[in-house]
């Protein structure tokens, strides 16, 4: 992909960010509003207060999934604190400063439930253990303060290598493994050591399984959902093997293995990487790139989330 085209996509993303910020501010009466440290909920007839934290997918200006959920769930007021470019650590900081430290958020108020809907992590997925660490801390802090949590897994993403250098050659193996690690943590399929790596020792109960405070109250799998191109043609296995063997990161990771162990690892990694196209976002749901869903993709996201939400939210799912 040429440098000029990459710069064009960056400019488009930034333009969408600005448009999104304006559109969100204009939707104040619909409960979908840009925020500052002193923002407040405004729909007093809706007792379920939901704060969404996500990156640019959540910040999309064109009928995004939080807007749809606000419309479908009659007891819910959604406030969108999503921010283009924010990874899980930045979203964690935003949760503390704009939710927990905001005196206008009615946490523990009688007759009111406050929920965090967390849909972030894509912007920091290249560092999966650090991403999981920030998400875990956010969940734990939310529960400690009386905020319940809905966790949305990462959505399918990826490219054949021409438009995103993270999917070029053997790098695709790291991108796929990192994504699956974050998704595995979000869905509760990994142990603390697997999900957090060296950060597992920071937990108050190292060596033990996840506590209730570290896990969401509701979890939604958007990765293995209708968004995923499950019928895509896999990459040719022989081509994938050659790409992996040429990758410096992979060679370093197997440098201490025996020849037999290295060959077994190569075979397993090649089969995993060959399957990557089946974990990409379906083309009919792509927006301006392979990461950001279009309005039809946001409709699918909302339809996947809606049935998983608590009955108290009063959702009428399509």
Task: Tell me the C-alpha distance between 1 and 125, whole Å.
Answer: 22
Please report, to the nearest 10 degrees, the dihedral formed by the alpha carbons of residues 98, 100, 106, 110 taken in order. 170
The band of 176, judged by pLDDT with boundaries at 50, 70 and 90, is very high
By C-alpha distance, which of 188, 185, 156 is closest to 301? Answer: 156
Average pLDDT over residues 31-57: 86
Is the model's pLDDT at 106 over the cut of 70?
A: yes
C-alpha–C-alpha distance, residues 93 and 203, integer Å: 19
Segment 206-235, tens digit of pLDDT: 889 999 999 999 999 999 999 999 999 999
In terms of Cβ atoms closer than 10 Å to its own Cβ (0-12, 13-18, 19+), residue 201 is exposed
> Distance (Å, rounded) from C-alpha 12 to C-alpha 24?
18
Confidence of residue 16 (pLDDT cuts 50, 70, 90): very low
Q: What is the predicted pLDDT for the residue at 26?
A: 32
Supply the pLDDT for residue 5: 47
Regarding predicted confidence, which is higher, 30 or 169? 169
Segment 290-294 mean pLDDT:
97
Whether the per-residue pLDDT at 173 is higher than 80: the answer is yes
pLDDT of residue 10: 42
Structure tokens at 299: 């409709």
> In the predicted model, what is the mean pLDDT of residues 173-183?
98
The rounded distance, in Å, linking the Cα atoms of 74 and 314 is: 5
pLDDT over 80 at 90, yes or no: yes
Residue 45 has pLDDT above 70, yes or no: yes
What pLDDT does residue 233 have?
Answer: 97
Segment 73-97 shows an average pLDDT of: 97
pLDDT digits (tens, 9 = 90+) for 245-259: 999 999 999 999 999
Arithmetic mean of pLDDT, 274-293: 97
């Amino acid at each position: 992909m040429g440098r000029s085209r990459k710069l064009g996509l960056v400019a488009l993303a930034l333009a969408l960010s600005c448009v999104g910020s304006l559109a969100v501010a204009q939707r104040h009466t619909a409960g979908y509003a840009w925020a500052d440290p002193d923002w407040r909920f405004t729909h007093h007839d809706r007792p379920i207060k939901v704060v969404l934290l996500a990156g640019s997918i959540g910040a999309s200006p064109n009928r995004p999934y939080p807007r749809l959920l606000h419309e479908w769930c009659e007891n819910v007021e959604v406030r969108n604190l999503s921010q283009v470019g924010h990874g899980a650590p930045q979203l964690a900081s935003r949760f503390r400063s704009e939710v927990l430290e905001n005196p206008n958020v009615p946490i523990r108020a009688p007759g009111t439930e406050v929920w965090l809907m967390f849909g972030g992590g894509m912007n920091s997925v290249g560092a999966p253990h650090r991403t999981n660490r920030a998400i875990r801390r956010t969940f734990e802090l939310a529960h400690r303060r009386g905020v319940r949590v809905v966790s949305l897994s990462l959505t399918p993403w990826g490219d054949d290598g021409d438009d995103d250098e993270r999917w070029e050659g053997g790098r695709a193996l790291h991108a796929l493994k990192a994504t699956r690690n974050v998704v595995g943590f979000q869905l509760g399929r990994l142990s603390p050591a697997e999900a957090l790596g060296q950060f597992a020792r920071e937990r108050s109960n190292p060596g033990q399984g996840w506590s209730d405070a570290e896990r969401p109250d509701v979890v939604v799998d958007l990765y293995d959902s209708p968004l995923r191109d499950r019928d895509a043609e896999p990459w040719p296995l022989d081509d994938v093997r050659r790409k992996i063997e040429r990758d410096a990161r992979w060679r370093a990771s197997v440098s201490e293995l025996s020849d037999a162990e290295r060959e077994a690892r190569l075979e397993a990694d090649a089969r995993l990487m060959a399957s990557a196209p089946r974990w990409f976002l379906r083309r009919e749901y792509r927006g301006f790139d392979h990461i950001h869903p279009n309005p039809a993709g946001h409709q699918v996201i909302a339809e996947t989330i809606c049935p998983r939400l608590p009955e108290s939210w009063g959702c009428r799912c399509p």
